Structures are given as C-alpha cells and as structure tokens.
Amino acid sequence: MTRELVYTGFMSLDGVVDSPGGKAEGHRSGGWVMETEFVPEAYSLKAEELADHTALLFGRRSYEAFAPFWRESEDHAAYQDLPKYVVSTSISDDDMVDGWGPTTILRSIEDIAALKDTDGGAIFIHGSAELARNLADADLIDRYNLLVFPVLLGAGKGLFSHADRDKQNLRLRESASYANGVTKLIYDVVH
C-alpha cells in the first residue's frame, strides 16, 4: 500500500504560505499568523495531526528553519523520534541538526516517489512551498490540511503551482470556520 503524502500548513486567503511566523523568515508581512486573534479551537487541526504523523518531509530551507527550533520545542516533542526526510541537491550529512532523531537526505522527486512506496503511515510536509508545488505537479500529494487565514498578502511563496497542467480535482474531507476568521479545509486529492 502506498503511503499518504500530506501537505499541512497555514495559508493566506490568496494562497501565500510564506513566513507565517515572523519577518525573519523573509516576507515583508511575516508573522501574519500571530497577528490573527488567537482562538484555540482554530489550531486544533495541528494537535489532531500528531496522531497521523509517521514521518516528516522538508525542503532544505524549511528544514533549516524548523529543525533547530522544533528540536527544543515541547509543542513538537512528538516529532523527536519520527523519521525525517530532507529533499535537497546541496545539503550534506554535516548540515543535519544533531539531536533531532533520524534524518535521511533525498535528492529527487523519484526518491520521494520511492519513499511513498514503502511500508508505513502518512508522511507530512510542513512549510516547503517549492517542494509542495513540485510534488503536486508530479501527482504525489494525496491530501492538503490547510488553515486559511483572513488576510491577503499580495506576494510571497504560493502553495499552488501555475504550471500548465491537467486539472486536478479535490474532494472536501472536512471543514470548519472559527470566530477569528480562520477556516480549516482538508482536501483529498482525487487521483
């Protein structure tokens, strides 16, 4: 059985996933998630996902941003011993963050397709917009778990590709909206 590849993330209403946590991440409007009123139930998706995670997949830049922080974060302690995969043509074993569990470097989309064909549960992609676009174009993403924020950023890294490709249908699995304007959208990709 093929493992499910799930993209999970925060997204602006205009499809930008860039720099939700702060300006240091690169976007001039960085930190847009923190500027939205905090309503705990709007983030319940993140806690629900923990039970489904059996591996993490990152692009190089997202790995470099998340790994040092998540290694020390109590909120992300469940990720400590999960297998982690970093997709990069340039990163080396010497660049891996010490003390954050097993990490494997993958060099290509073909390596990710081969990983999906192994035994195990869902593999979650956090951040990594460029990687997600490339995987979607290769028809490898199976589900999107999105928290859509009521903000238009106008520019930044978009989640979805603008490549000239065949239509891809999605099936809504679950949705909810919250008092702060955040909407949870979980879509299965129809293969």
Hey, what domains does the chain have and what are their CATH numbers? 5-189 (3.40.430.10)
pLDDT of 1 above 70: no
Arithmetic mean of pLDDT, 132-151: 96
Which of 82-99 are b and which e, b meaning 16 or more Cβ less than 10 Å from the residue's Cβ?
bebbbbbeebeeeebbee
Over the stretch 99-141, which tens digit does the pLDDT of each residue have? 998 899 999 999 999 999 999 999 999 989 999 999 999 999 9
Dihedral sign for Cα atoms in the order 67, 71, 72, 78: positive
pLDDT, mean over the chain: 91
Q: What is the pTM of this model?
A: 0.93
Position 25 confidence tier, pLDDT thresholds 50, 70, 90: low
CA-angle at 132, arms to 77 and 105, nearest 5°: 60
Read off the pLDDT of each residue in 21-31 and give the average, rounded to a whole number: 74
Strand, coil or helix: what is 60? helix
Does the pLDDT of residue 31 top 90, yes or no?
Answer: no
CB atoms near residue 54 (< 10 Å): 15
Residue 21 has pLDDT above 80, yes or no: no
pLDDT value at 96 more than 80: yes
